[in-house]
Structure 1
Amino acid sequence: MCKLRKDLSLSAISAGFVAVLVGFASSVAIVFQAAQAAGADQAMMISWIGALGLGMGLTCIGFSWYYKAPVITAWSTPGAALLASSLVGVPIAQAIGAFMFCAVLTILLGVSGGFDRLMRRIPASIASAMLAGILVQFGLAIFTSLRAEPGLVAAMLISYLLAKRWQPRYTIMLVLAVGLLGSSLMNKLDISHVALAFSQPVLVWPEFDLSVLLGVGLPLFIVTMTSQNIPGIATLKASGYQHIPISPLLTGTGLTSLVLAPLGGFAFNLAAITAAICTGPESHTDSSKRYVAGLSAGFFYILAGLTGASVVALFIALPVALVASVAGLALLATIGNSLSLALQDTSERDAALLCFLITASGVSFFDIGAAFWGLIGGMLTLYLSKK
């Protein structure tokens, strides 16, 4: 605890808060759609948010403290999108069974160590290019938001540039403060309808149907691995946290999913976008002290889970331009560092560039996202170029 008190910083705490803000505000609506498709009523939907917040919070705190690194977990956003379309007509008890099946597959993959061995074969240039491709849309969103809300975003952009020069450790915290103040002054922030309400767990006993396990559980596992865990691992590696073993992280998120699935915790995985906020230099100039951002994110995730209905209403009340701009500005340094590392080795530059372009394009085949195809394209180009 003495080390924690010594390593505490406002910049790391604010990075954790921004990660949770971006994570909830950007995709909580998709989770609601998935719950509704499964036939969940309002109480169950709040239980889902509570379970997800608790699971992400505990894993963020546990992993970050143990490894002294900002290990950020998240719910599977692509998985939620998949569930929103595939759970229609599926009884909720069978949906819970599919979630648990996905969790067991994740645990088995983690225990086997196969995923860890696979990720060691991916060069840093390819991993960095994939990460840059994932994050570049968030950087571009700053300027599309500028067109939609010029006054608000311009104020945030100016505050970012000034803070980077005079108070770099508190840049994102100041940008967020300016964004909230500007939204309030422009009457774009209405929180009058937000009331304190705590989550109540709703337990659903699972049922196992083979067709649902194969038609929902298996695709959920594949999408979560390819679209979430691979980029999440790339984020850690690209940020210099090479020492963290992957297998225990997969096993831990799988166990968390297995325990919390009956309450609505459909799938937990390593985060990429929100993780990049905590692993970058905006969190702390000293990479050994950025684990505080992971602890901070965990605390705010648990708080969000406990007050599920209230927090969701609050996040929805925030202007879209504010959330998009905060995320983009928080990720600028990570985007720059990733591009620099991706293009550093001239012998791997073509492969990294192709990986970046495919990932940034957002192309999807067989319901598998662009990050996976960018990785495949980059690795294939690298293999062919060295023949």
Structure 2
Amino acid sequence: MHDQAKHPSQESRRAAAAATAQSPQSGLVQPIAAGALAAVVGFASAFTIVLQGLAGVGATPEQAASGLLVLCVGQGILAITFGLISRKPISFAWSTPGAALLMGAGVPQGGFGVAVAAFLLTGLLIVIAGIWRPLGRAVSAIPLPLANAMLAGVLLELCLAPFRAIAAAPLLALPIVLAWALGWTFARRFAVPIAVAMTGLIVALATPIPAEAWAHLWPEPVFVMPVWDLVPVFGLAIPLFIVTMASQNVPGLAVLRSNGYEIAVRPVFIATGIASWAVALLGGHGLNLSAITAALCAGPEAGTNPARRYIASVTTGLVYIPIGLGVGFAAAFIAASPPLLIQAVAGLALLTSLAAALAGALSREAGRLPALVTFVTTASGISIFGIGAAFWGLVAGGLMLMLERREHGAA
């Protein structure tokens, strides 16, 4: 079944093209809905970590809000620009693992200005990673079964959310799951948009808008002067760079590759490094490729035509910018919403990506065990030296693949 969907006959391709030509709007609903969902899920699932991470290295509430604002706007501009130029669903995000690292780093001597200097240095290191070809090739040369296995491990936790939501809040979650199931049965192309619409209705009915949201409707960017105390700057920048590359950029590239998109690494790294410089001066800790939410834009839930899925990443950028401009209101509203509902609809949307990733990882007997090791290591959620499970999944799977090939070579 999966192979038939992946390699349709000429007759089915002509029929699909004819259907799209007859109803051009139908080809826009899926990528637009997927892109909007990716922005909402990306913001809602991690903005508190960003605020707490910035506060953990000395940011005032105003500086932390400024950082969140410019991160939203910056990743929105990057997604729109790269989507329109490359015609590929390249998605961007802030570094959630990096923000988590900041939460435990402590306030450096010299205050938040030292952290801002570290953010600038991290952006410089990412630019160097884009310019230095051997590093770029190493990042992009991941075996496809391992990339699929890592993607499946990353998606597993989120895909469990709908069923956890049913157990925790059945009256709120069951209507969303049932709406998705009915949509999948009778109007498969619109199953996810139907679930998104149901979620919006339930959240609107179940979530009163907090009064404090109106008081901080318009955010204010705050300039922060960097303080170049080199020892603490390097002590914070080096681990932040490693975590960002290992836990965001490598999985982000793997998501694109596993969905059939090959991209040039150099311009992406250079652009995200330069963008990180810009947001750092206003309190943002860095921008990079998206990992989990990228699957919404690059996978089948963004439409049956891979050539048009870039619309999803452009939509994500267009949604992120107003979220950033209304970050105070949006943060208060989403924080008051049941978080499991947002995670549940994202998990439903990503089930097809999880199925495709598992099929791609385990389809061939050769390399199946290394792919399985990658999957279970990534799904375990372990973190060693501040580096996330996705990186260690690739390491473990890569080592197993080397041992397997050595054994076959010796035989």
| TM-score, normalising length: structure 1 | 0.94
Q: 1:12–1:293: 8 Å Cα contact kept in structure 2?
A: yes
Is structure 2 residue 38 aligned with structure 1 residue 19?
Answer: yes
Deviation (angstroms), 1:120:
4.1
Q: 1:37–1:89: 8 Å Cα contact kept in structure 2?
A: no
Stretch moving more, 40-49 or 139-148:
40-49
* Equivalent residue for 1:343, pick from 342, 362, 382: 362
Partner SS, residue 35 of structure 1 = helix
Q: Following the alignment from structure 1 to structure 2, what is the Cα–Cα distance between the partners of residues 213 and 248? A: 26
Deviation (angstroms), 1:225:
0.5
Q: 1:21–1:315: 8 Å Cα contact kept in structure 2?
A: no
Partner residue of 2:207?
Answer: 189
Report the residue type matching 2:344 in the other structure.
S
Partner residue of 2:160?
Answer: 140
Stretch moving more, 33-42 or 52-61:
33-42
Partner residue of 1:199?
Answer: 219
Deviation (angstroms), 1:166:
2.4
Deviation (angstroms), 1:184:
4.4
Partner SS, residue 288 of structure 2 = strand
Q: 1:115–1:246: 8 Å Cα contact kept in structure 2?
A: no
Is structure 2 residue 329 aligned with structure 1 residue 322?
Answer: no
Per-residue Cα deviation, 1:182-208 (whole angstroms, up to 9, x for no partner)? 3445xx312243327122111011111
Partner residue of 1:293?
Answer: 312
Partner SS, residue 59 of structure 2 = coil
Instruction: Let me know the Cα RMSD of the aligned residues.
Output: 1.6
Q: Give the % identical residues.
A: 39
Aligned counterparts, 1:276-315, within 5 A: 276-315=295-334
Partner SS, residue 93 of structure 2 = strand
Query: Judging changes above 3 Å, is the alpha-carbon distance between structure 1 residues 119 and 37 closer, same or farther for their aligned structure 2 residues?
Result: closer
Query: Judging changes above 3 Å, is the alpha-carbon distance between structure 1 residues 6 and 108 closer, same or farther for their aligned structure 2 residues?
Result: farther
Is structure 2 residue 375 aligned with structure 1 residue 377?
Answer: no
Q: Following the alignment from structure 1 to structure 2, what is the Cα–Cα distance between the partners of residues 115 and 178? A: 45
Q: Following the alignment from structure 1 to structure 2, what is the Cα–Cα distance between the partners of residues 172 and 84? A: 34
Is structure 2 residue 261 aligned with structure 1 residue 241?
Answer: yes
Q: 1:359–1:370: 8 Å Cα contact kept in structure 2?
A: yes
Deviation (angstroms), 1:13:
1.3
Contiguous gaps of at least 5 residues in structure 2 = 1-23, 407-411
Partner residue of 2:291?
Answer: 272
Query: Judging changes above 3 Å, is the alpha-carbon distance between structure 1 residues 307 and 338 closer, same or farther for their aligned structure 2 residues?
Result: same
Q: Following the alignment from structure 2 to structure 1, what is the Cα–Cα distance between the partners of residues 190 and 336? A: 25
Deviation (angstroms), 1:165:
2.5
Report the residue type matching 1:11 in the other structure.
Q
Is structure 2 residue 202 aligned with structure 1 residue 211?
Answer: no
Per-residue Cα deviation, 1:283-306 (whole angstroms, up to 9, x for no partner)? 111010010011100011111111
Q: 1:7–1:292: 8 Å Cα contact kept in structure 2?
A: no
* Equivalent residue for 2:47, pick from 28, 32, 47: 28
CA radius of gyration, larger in: 2
Stretch moving more, 17-26 or 334-343:
17-26
Report the residue type matching 1:62 in the other structure.
T
**What is the aligned residue count?**
380
Q: Following the alignment from structure 1 to structure 2, what is the Cα–Cα distance between the partners of residues 87 and 66? A: 40
Deviation (angstroms), 1:7:
9.3
Q: Following the alignment from structure 2 to structure 1, what is the Cα–Cα distance between the partners of residues 340 and 56? A: 28
Partner SS, residue 366 of structure 2 = helix
Q: 1:197–1:310: 8 Å Cα contact kept in structure 2?
A: yes
Q: Following the alignment from structure 2 to structure 1, what is the Cα–Cα distance between the partners of residues 39 and 178? A: 24
| TM-score, normalising length: structure 2 | 0.89
Q: Following the alignment from structure 2 to structure 1, what is the Cα–Cα distance between the partners of residues 247 and 92? A: 14
Q: Following the alignment from structure 2 to structure 1, what is the Cα–Cα distance between the partners of residues 368 and 171? A: 39
Report the residue type matching 2:208 in the other structure.
D
Deviation (angstroms), 1:181:
2.2
Per-residue Cα deviation, 1:202-258 (whole angstroms, up to 9, x for no partner)? 10111111122221111100000011111111000001102x111211111111001
Partner SS, residue 32 of structure 2 = helix
Q: Following the alignment from structure 1 to structure 2, what is the Cα–Cα distance between the partners of residues 113 and 296? A: 31
Partner SS, residue 237 of structure 2 = helix
Per-residue Cα deviation, 1:157-197 (whole angstroms, up to 9, x for no partner)? 11111112222332222112212323445xx3122433271
Q: Following the alignment from structure 1 to structure 2, what is the Cα–Cα distance between the partners of residues 101 and 30? A: 21
Q: 1:96–1:266: 8 Å Cα contact kept in structure 2?
A: yes
Query: Judging changes above 3 Å, is the alpha-carbon distance between structure 1 residues 307 and 230 closer, same or farther for their aligned structure 2 residues?
Result: same
Report the residue type matching 2:86 in the other structure.
Y
Deviation (angstroms), 1:54:
1.1
Q: 2:140–2:250: 8 Å Cα contact kept in structure 1?
A: no
